[in-house]
């Protein structure tokens, strides 16, 4: 499926002591409007998923088109990823990548399902913040952005 373009996010959380955790995630979808629900698919063996499971909450940082470095950083084995980016804890303590994202959603875990080596995590959106800018996209092992143009024979 690498040929199919998708938006790039960083899913974040923090443990009870406030230590931040995060990982790059390109499998995000809106599930429902009422109640507002998102789904992310995370590696079941990922430390970030284990902390989300314990805390019961996570944030989705929608990366902007200049955030390729953050996408690569949070996909790497670097130990202290947060030392390399502009971030701050939200009012609820979840890490917000202020300098890297054009949108942000906080979620409470409302359900999970293990599928192969991943866990599908459903999150009820409790806070949503958006801004201007263009999304970072990933397709066939390369990054790009959305450049709107008319579609031929659009209805």
Q: What would the pLDDT profile of 25-84 be if each residue is shown by its tens digit?
A: 999 999 999 999 999 999 999 999 999 999 999 999 999 999 999 999 999 988 899 999
CATH of the domain at 129: 2.30.110.10
The one-character DSSP state at 4 is S
Instruction: Say how many domains are in the chain.
Output: 1
Q: What would the pLDDT profile of 6-25 be if each residue is shown by its tens digit?
A: 889 999 999 999 999 999 99
Nearest to 95 by CA among 110, 84, 27: 84
In terms of residue numbers, what domain contains 79?
A: 6-145
Q: What are phi and psi of 151, to 5 degrees?
A: -95, 135
- Give the global pTM: 0.92
Q: Is 1 within a domain? A: no
Q: 10 near 61, Cβ under 8 Å?
A: yes
Q: 144 near 134, Cβ under 8 Å?
A: no
Q: Is 151 within a domain? A: no
Q: Is 122 within a domain? A: yes
């Amino acid at each position: 499926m690498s040929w199919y373009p998708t938006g790039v996010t960083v899913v974040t959380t923090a443990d009870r002591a406030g230590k931040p955790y995060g990982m790059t995630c390109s499998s995000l979808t809106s599930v429902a409007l009422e109640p507002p629900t998102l789904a992310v698919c995370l590696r079941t063996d990922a430390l970030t998923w284990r902390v989300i499971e314990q805390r019961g909450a996570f944030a989705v940082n929608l990366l902007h088109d200049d955030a390729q470095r953050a996408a690569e950083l949070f996909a790497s084995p670097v130990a202290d990823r947060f030392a390399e980016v502009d971030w701050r804890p939200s009012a609820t303590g979840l890490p917000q990548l202020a300098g890297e994202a054009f949108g942000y959603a906080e979620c409470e875990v409302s359900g999970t399902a293990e599928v192969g080596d991943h866990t599908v995590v459903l999150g009820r959106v409790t806070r949503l913040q958006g801004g201007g800018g263009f999304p970072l996209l990933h397709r066939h092992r390369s990054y790009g952005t959305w450049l709107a143009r008319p579609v031929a024979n659009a209805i």
